[in-house]
């Protein structure tokens, strides 16, 4: 088990960073499956997200795909909410409920709504409503359970016609990084950080994140592997529901 998570996390960070994501959903799912303390899971996932998405953010933005006008409005509400949620001392039962619900939504996104296309443009007012509530919701999930939210945000940007796939990936990387930083600071202040546990995982995701973001044009590979990771998430959901019932 000592080497299992680092090896698997190299693969996960490669896959997710290639499409501008941090991999927090799969890190969290695997740690839940392997019995890592629920207090360590969010802090660890947020720390790993920081390293993976920072590398991806540099590569995507250096290539000219970054747009502050696209990602800025989402960060206005998500960053404060991520810090607030990260400051909460949740009971294990509450943590499991939020995490399970979040993973179920991710599985639905991967397998059901992955190729959904919105055929109409939102009005300015409706767009801001979506931005505010999406920022609040994803910020809370990020701080509470360590899932950065980019896995929801990237396809929604594309579906609503807010940006191109590459611009969405760049926005997703920055969104995850900013919210992971806010949530991590809050959780670090609560002494839920284990350097000996996290350090080997950080090395693993740095390697995978660098390679994945560099080969970010290989979207077909990432899509296929994302569905495989979805199977891991479903397994985590089944095991968590079994423990809760």
pLDDT at residue 217 above 50?
no
The whole-number pLDDT of residue 137 equals: 92
Residue 21: how many CB atoms within 10 A of its CB?
A: 31
The whole-number pLDDT of residue 179 equals: 93
Q: Is 19 helix (H, G, I), strand (E, B) or coil?
A: coil
**pTM reported for the whole predicted model:** 0.82
The whole-number pLDDT of residue 14 equals: 83
The most confident of the ranges 67-81, 210-224, 226-240 is 67-81
Residue 2: how many CB atoms within 10 A of its CB?
A: 6
Q: Is 38 helix (H, G, I), strand (E, B) or coil?
A: coil
Residues whose CB is less than 8 angstroms from the CB of residue 124 and which lie 6 or more positions away in sequence, other chains included: none
pLDDT at residue 219 above 70?
no
* pLDDT, tens digit (0-9, with 9 covering 90-100), for 70-122: 899 999 999 999 999 999 988 888 888 898 898 888 888 777 766 555 555 66
Residue 156 near residue 175 (C-beta atoms within 8 A): no
pLDDT greater at residue 243 or residue 81: 81
Q: Which of 213, 195, 197 is nearest to 27 (CA)?
A: 197
Residue keyed to tokens 């796939």: 165
pLDDT at residue 162 above 70?
yes
Residue 107: how many CB atoms within 10 A of its CB?
A: 19
When the pLDDT of each residue in the chain is averaged and rounded to a whole number, the result is 83
Please list, residue by residue across 165-180, b when 16 or more beta carbons sit within 10 angstroms of its beta carbon and e when fewer do.
ebbbbbbbbbbbbbbb
| Host domain of residue 144 | 4-244
Number of domains forming the structure of the chain: 1
The whole-number pLDDT of residue 224 equals: 67
pLDDT greater at residue 217 or residue 176: 176
Residues whose CB is less than 8 angstroms from the CB of residue 104 and which lie 6 or more positions away in sequence, other chains included: 237
């Amino acid at each position: 088990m000592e080497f299992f998570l680092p090896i698997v996390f190299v693969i996960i960070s490669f896959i997710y960073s290639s499409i501008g994501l941090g991999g927090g959903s799969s890190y969290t799912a695997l740690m839940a499956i392997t019995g890592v303390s629920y207090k360590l899971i969010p802090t660890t996932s947020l720390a790993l997200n920081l390293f993976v998405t920072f590398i991806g953010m540099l590569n995507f933005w250096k290539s000219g795909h970054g747009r502050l006008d696209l990602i800025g409005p989402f960060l206005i509400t998500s960053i404060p909410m991520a810090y607030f949620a990260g400051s909460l001392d949740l009971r294990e039962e509450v943590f499991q409920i939020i995490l399970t619900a979040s993973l179920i939504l991710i599985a639905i996104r991967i397998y059901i709504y992955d190729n959904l296309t919105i055929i109409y443009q939102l009005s300015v007012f409706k767009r801001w409503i979506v931005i505010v509530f999406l920022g609040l919701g994803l910020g809370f999930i990020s701080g509470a359970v360590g899932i950065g939210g980019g896995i929801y945000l990237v396809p929604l940007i594309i579906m609503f016609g807010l940006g191109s796939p590459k611009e969405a990936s760049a926005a997703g990387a920055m969104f995850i990084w900013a919210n992971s930083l806010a949530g991590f600071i809050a959780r670090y202040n609560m002494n839920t950080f284990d350097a000996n546990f996290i350090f080997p995982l950080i090395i693993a995701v740095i390697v995978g994140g660098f390679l994945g973001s560099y080969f970010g044009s290989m979207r077909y590979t990432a899509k296929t592997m994302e569905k495989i990771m979805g199977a891991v998430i479903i397994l985590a959901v089944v095991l968590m529901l079994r423990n809760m019932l």
